[in-house]
Structure 1
Amino acid sequence: MTSSSPAAAIATATQPQRRSRRGRFEPYLLIAPTVLLVLGLMVVPIVIVIGYSLFDNVVTNQNPQFVGVANYVAILGNPAFWNAVGNTLIFTVISVVIHLLIGIGFALMLNSKLVHGLPRTIFRAIYILPWIFTASVVAVLWRLLLDPSGVINYVLTTIGVLHQAVPWLATPATALISVTVINIWSGYPFFMISLLAGLQGVPSDLYEAARVDGAGLVRQFFSVTLPALRPIVYSMALLDLLWTTQQFTLIWATTGGGPINHTEVVSTFTYKLAFNSYQFSMASTSAVVILVASLFVAIFYVRQQKKASQS
Structure 2
Amino acid sequence: MTSAHVEPVTAPPVAPPAGRPAPGRARVNPARRLIPYAYLSPTIVLMVVLMVVPIVMVVGYSFRDNVIVQENPVFVGFANYTKVLTDPDFLVALKNTAVFISVSTVAHLVLGLGFALLLNTQLLSGVTKAVFRIVYILPWLFTIAVIAVIWRLLLDPAGVVNYVLQTLGLVQEGVNWLGDPSTALWAVTFANVWSGYPFFMISLLAALQGISADLYEAAAVDGAGPLRRFLNVTLPQLRPVIISMAVLDLIWTSQQFALIWMMTGGGPLNTTEMLSTYTYKQAFSEYEFATASAAAVIVLLLTMVLAFFYVRQQQRER
State if a TM-score over 0.5 links the two structures: yes
Do residues 165 (structure 1) and 167 (structure 2) align? Answer: no
Pairing 1:203-218 to 2, within 5 Å after superposition: 203-218=212-227
Q: Equivalents in 1 of 2:265, 2:305: separation in Å?
A: 28
Amino acid at match of 1:24: R
Give the structure-2-normalised TM-score.
0.91
- 1:277 aligned counterpart, secondary structure: coil
Alignment-derived partner of residue 7 in structure 1 = none
Q: Deviations over 1:236-275 (max 9, x none)?
A: 0000000001100000000000001000000000000000
Amino acid at match of 1:58: V
Do residues 127 (structure 1) and 157 (structure 2) align? Answer: no
Select 1:254's aligned residue among 250, 263, 283.
263
Q: Equivalents in 2 of 1:203, 1:289: separation in Å?
A: 44
Alignment-derived partner of residue 3 in structure 2 = none
Pairing 1:64-79 to 2, within 5 Å after superposition: 64-79=73-88
Alignment-derived partner of residue 8 in structure 2 = none
- The CA RMSD over aligned residues, in Å, is 1.5
Q: Deviations over 1:124-175 (max 9, x none)?
A: 0000000010111000000000011111111111111000001100110100
Do residues 300 (structure 1) and 309 (structure 2) align? Answer: yes
Q: Deviations over 1:165-208 (max 9, x none)?
A: 01100110100000000000000001100000000000000000
Pairing 1:97-246 to 2, within 5 Å after superposition: 97-246=106-255
Amino acid at match of 2:160: V
Q: Equivalents in 1 of 2:29, 2:133: separation in Å?
A: 52
Q: Deviations over 1:210-238 (max 9, x none)?
A: 00000011100110001100110011000
Q: Equivalents in 2 of 1:65, 1:85: separation in Å?
A: 28
Alignment-derived partner of residue 58 in structure 2 = 49
- 2:248 aligned counterpart, secondary structure: helix
Give the structure-1-normalised TM-score.
0.93
- 1:172 aligned counterpart, secondary structure: coil
Q: Deviations over 1:60-80 (max 9, x none)?
A: 001111101111111111111
Q: Equivalents in 2 of 1:191, 1:117: separation in Å?
A: 21
The runs of 5 or more residues in structure 1 that have no matched partner are 1-9
Cα distance, 1:115 vs structure 2: 1.6
Amino acid at match of 1:244: T
Q: Equivalents in 2 of 1:207, 1:214: separation in Å?
A: 11
Amino acid at match of 1:250: L
- 2:105 aligned counterpart, secondary structure: helix
- 1:96 aligned counterpart, secondary structure: helix
Q: Equivalents in 1 of 2:207, 2:152: separation in Å?
A: 35
Q: Percent identity?
A: 55
Q: Deviations over 1:84-106 (max 9, x none)?
A: 00000001100000100001000
Q: Equivalents in 2 of 1:124, 1:244: separation in Å?
A: 24
More helix by share: 1
Amino acid at match of 1:96: T
Which protein has the larger Cα radius of gyration, Structure 1 or Structure 2?
2
Q: Equivalents in 1 of 2:152, 2:294: separation in Å?
A: 32
Select 1:282's aligned residue among 270, 280, 291.
291
Alignment-derived partner of residue 5 in structure 1 = none
Alignment-derived partner of residue 90 in structure 1 = 99
- 1:196 aligned counterpart, secondary structure: helix
Amino acid at match of 2:278: F
State the aligned residue count.
Answer: 298
Amino acid at match of 2:106: V
Q: Equivalents in 1 of 2:172, 2:31: separation in Å?
A: 78
Do residues 36 (structure 1) and 18 (structure 2) align? Answer: no
Q: Equivalents in 2 of 1:116, 1:212: separation in Å?
A: 26
Alignment-derived partner of residue 30 in structure 2 = 21
Cα distance, 1:119 vs structure 2: 0.5
